[in-house]
Amino acid sequence: MDLVLGLFVNFILVIFVIMLAFSSIKIIKQATVGIVERLGKYHKSAEQGINVIIPFIDRFRAIVDLREQVVDFPPQPVITKDNVTMMIDTVVYYQVTDAFKYTYEIARPILAIENLTATTLRNIVGDLELDETLTSRDLVNTKLRTILDEATDKWGIKVNRVELKNILPPQDIQTAMEKQMRAEREKREAILRAEGQKTAAILEAEGQKQAAILNAEATREAAIKEAEGMRQAQILRAEGEAQAILNVQKAVADSLVMIKEAGADNKVLAIKSLEALKEIGNGQSTKLIIPSDLAGLGGVFAALKEAVESKD
């Protein structure tokens, strides 16, 4: 009986020792750090990997995450410089840089950051009017991040970025802003429509002007070409008539030469000349060439008279 009791006690002791061994070993993950206290006082910071502590004397107070974290705070009422109450919610990106300060310098760090953010946001927006608040998000973000970073430095926290997630004015302000934006859009639409009509009218007038210029030029060119054609036709007609007269005169001259060569006297030559003049007068041409020697022409008529008398 005593042997069985001894074996049971030994078994219990072995189990207890194994449990103590496992409880004294702690594995710290990557990007985290453990805060070890010994008898209630800070002892060390346990780095990544396996860490051994003394059971019942040492204990892990906290495991602190060193990665960048994001916290989204609920909307906070903020009053602008022109007494407009808006609801603004913020998003804060922060990172723990000192696990000791984060554990011992602040009791509830997230609540502290939230309250500090709300207070700082009221101070910044309180110096801005509604329009400035809506159009100066980057300015508000920068100021808010700078102030939070300086305030949380003693807590071992670094604020990397702050963003205003939503800015919600009162409903009546939203309605007025929507009407204003609608009016601005309608104004821009009217301006663009007027510009389009103006451009179209200018283009149409330019087109009509160019068409009128082209029509005038075409009419002028047509008149010039028509006048040129008429002039050329008159020149050609005059040249043809002149050439016809020359041809008749040449034929008469040739016939007279032939008659003279055949031994005809002056009377016959005069008669032939009159016949030639008659032919010229009966022609289509209205031009008649009168010899400049009027005395000679009188001689021709005398010769003609004699010829007729002798014939009788």
Higher pLDDT, 176 or 141: 141
Per-residue pLDDT tens digits for 253-264? 666 566 666 555
Query: Over 90: is that where the pLDDT of 68 sits?
Result: yes
Tell me, yes or no, if the pTM score tops 0.85.
no
Give the CA diameter of the chain: 207
> Using CA atoms, how far apart are residues 189 and 179, in angstroms rounded to an integer?
15
Which pLDDT band, with edges at 50, 70 and 90, does 288 fall under?
A: very low
> What are the C-alpha distances in Å from 110 to residues 69, 101, 163, 227, 292?
11, 14, 16, 102, 137
Please state, for a pLDDT cut of 90, what percent of the chain lies above it: 19
Query: Over 90: is that where the pLDDT of 96 sits?
Result: yes
Q: Strand pairing partners for 90?
A: 164
- Strands of 32-38's sheet in order across: 41-46, 32-38, 58-65
CB 144 within 8 A of CB 117: yes
Query: Over 60: is that where the pLDDT of 13 sits?
Result: yes
**What pLDDT does 309 receive?**
45
CB 160 within 8 A of CB 154: no
The candidate with the shortest Cα–Cα distance to 82, out of 130, 137, 122, 125, is 130
Query: Over 60: is that where the pLDDT of 163 sits?
Result: yes
Structure token pair of residue 129: 């009017």
**What pLDDT does 165 receive?**
86
Which pLDDT band, with edges at 50, 70 and 90, does 12 fall under?
A: confident
**What pLDDT does 292 receive?**
46
**What pLDDT does 236 receive?**
86
Query: Over 70: is that where the pLDDT of 279 sits?
Result: no
Q: Strand pairing partners for 59?
A: 37
Q: Determine the 3-state secondary structure of 108 from DSSP.
A: coil
Determine the average pLDDT of the residues in 17-40.
84
Residue that the structure tokens 């609540």 belong to: 111
Mean pLDDT over all residues of the chain? 80
Domain ranges of the chain: 2-64, 69-169, 243-311
**What pLDDT does 175 receive?**
80
Amino acid 189 reads: E
| CATH number of this structure's domain 69-169 | 3.30.479.30
Question: How many CB atoms neighbour CB 308 within 10 A?
Answer: 10
Structure token pair of residue 280: 């010229």
Query: Over 70: is that where the pLDDT of 1 sits?
Result: no
The candidate with the shortest Cα–Cα distance to 96, out of 84, 88, 104, is 104
User: Comparing 62-66, 225-229, 244-248, which segment has the lowest mean pLDDT?
Assistant: 244-248
Residue that the structure tokens 């006082």 belong to: 41
The candidate with the shortest Cα–Cα distance to 45, out of 30, 62, 29, is 62
Q: Which of 12-21, 174-183, 212-221 has the highest mean pLDDT?
A: 212-221
Structure token pair of residue 112: 């502290």
One-character DSSP codes across 9-56: HHHHHHHHHHHHHHHTEEEEPTTEEEEEEETTEEEEEE-SEEEE--TT
> Using CA atoms, how far apart are residues 113 and 90, in angstroms rounded to an integer?
11
Q: Strand pairing partners for 109?
A: none
Q: Within its chain, how far is the Cα of 170 from the centroid?
A: 37
**What pLDDT does 269 receive?**
54
**What pLDDT does 16 receive?**
78
Which pLDDT band, with edges at 50, 70 and 90, does 301 fall under?
A: very low
Determine the average pLDDT of the residues in 144-162.
92
Please state, for a pLDDT cut of 70, what percent of the chain lies above it: 78
